[in-house]
Amino acid sequence: MYSFADRLTPETYHALARAVYAEMALAGITAVGEFHYVHHAPGGTPYADPNAMGEALIAAAAEAGIRITLLDTAYLSSGFGQPPNAHQLRFSDGSAEAWAERCSVLKERDHARIGAAIHSVRAVPADQLATVARWAEERRAPLHVHLSEQTAENEACLEVHGCTPTQLLALHGVLGPRTTGVHNTHLTAEDISLIGGSGTGTCMCPTTERDLADGIGPAVALQNEGSPLSLGSDSHAVIDLLEEARAMELNERLRTRTRGHWTAAALLRAASADGHAALGWDDAGTLEPGARADFATIALDSVRTAGPLPRLGAETAVFAASAADVSHTVVGGRHVVRDGVHTLVPDVPKALADAVEALRG
């Protein structure tokens, strides 16, 4: 990962993001929450425009025809009490105050909103967590944080601070209804109560969590305590929200050896309306007057989806279909994908291949 990140420039970042966002549109995704922390040139020197990398992502989303919430990420240390390593220098602004100053220059657009992210409790010193939370609170912006993704993070936090990552975030005012914990995998009963009781959201990323062998988070318990569930891809191991929705249910079945934790409708809501809300787009994700005209259609005549009755379309989508079955994607009334073909990026596989090859050098 670092070898690729070291080679990124605003131009190659833009090309890669444009291709990935076009792939997301092909999968029926209409808005991306970009956990953006490659801010500066290698070595940490700011570009002439200190937000050149973020602007590249905003432009890429526009060209791919989807909306973006740029979750500009504070990333200040390589671990508890450790400075950034040589590769991470381009991620760091030096302090949360400097991060906030740079972020404050970013402007929202019709297709773009600006949010904040704390990479993790190991990457932002405890005494600077409140600065990031305050920046988001003052702007009523979404705030995301990778939370308890791995047991090693929990163990290190307990050793340094004497509390879990969730407890540390609560102590510094990070939790709340506009905050989303990404993963929320290794939690204590108290952690679950703190997250749910504060209305903090949970973004499950099942394909990434299994790809990295991180574990299965307590999604049912979190939801029962009041944490809204949404779905994401995080590492982009797979770009398929239908697979993420299916995986959340199937993971819970494996863990509990019981079936039927969520209906297909509830899983689709986590992949749509609740995902949009977690990114600050409260007016998207539902088909109703006054909402943005965002929707995707799924073919019910592929080898994966043929057979079930049309009235079981939601169940077919979640438990049988894949991103390959998305035939149309409409974003804000604009037909971005038609009959499985992107209308703005004509050859998405080639765009992806060219962007990756450029980073290989």
Domains and CATH numbers, the chain: 2-285 (3.20.20.140)
**Burial readout 319-352 (b: 16 or more C-beta within 10 A, e: otherwise):** bbbbbbbbbbbbbbeeebbeeeebebbeebeebb
0.75 cut: is pTM over it? yes
Average pLDDT score over residue span 267-293 = 96
- According to DSSP, residue 277 is labeled H
Tokens 């504060």 correspond to: 198
β-pairing, 67-74 with 112-118?
parallel
Average pLDDT score over residue span 27-41 = 98
pLDDT score recorded for residue 237 = 82
183 catalytic residue (yes or no): yes
Q: Is 183 helix (H, G, I), strand (E, B) or coil?
A: strand
Please say whether the beta carbons of 116 and 132 come within 8 A.
yes
Average pLDDT score over residue span 185-212 = 97
pLDDT above 80 for 361: no
β-pairing, 295-298 with 326-331?
antiparallel
- Least confident stretch, 132-141, 235-244, 321-330: 235-244
Q: Which of 183, 186, 261, 342 is catalytic?
A: 183
Average pLDDT taken over every residue of the chain: 97
Q: Which two tokens stand for residue 288?
A: 């109703």
Please say whether the beta carbons of 136 and 143 come within 8 A.
yes
Q: Which of 72, 93, 191, 234 is catalytic?
A: 234
Q: How far apart are CA 62 and CA 55, in angstroms?
A: 11
236 catalytic residue (yes or no): no
Average pLDDT score over residue span 341-345 = 98
Q: How far apart are CA 60 and CA 29, in angstroms?
A: 15
Residue 134: other Cβ atoms inside 10 A: 16
Q: How far apart are CA 111 and CA 192, in angstroms?
A: 34
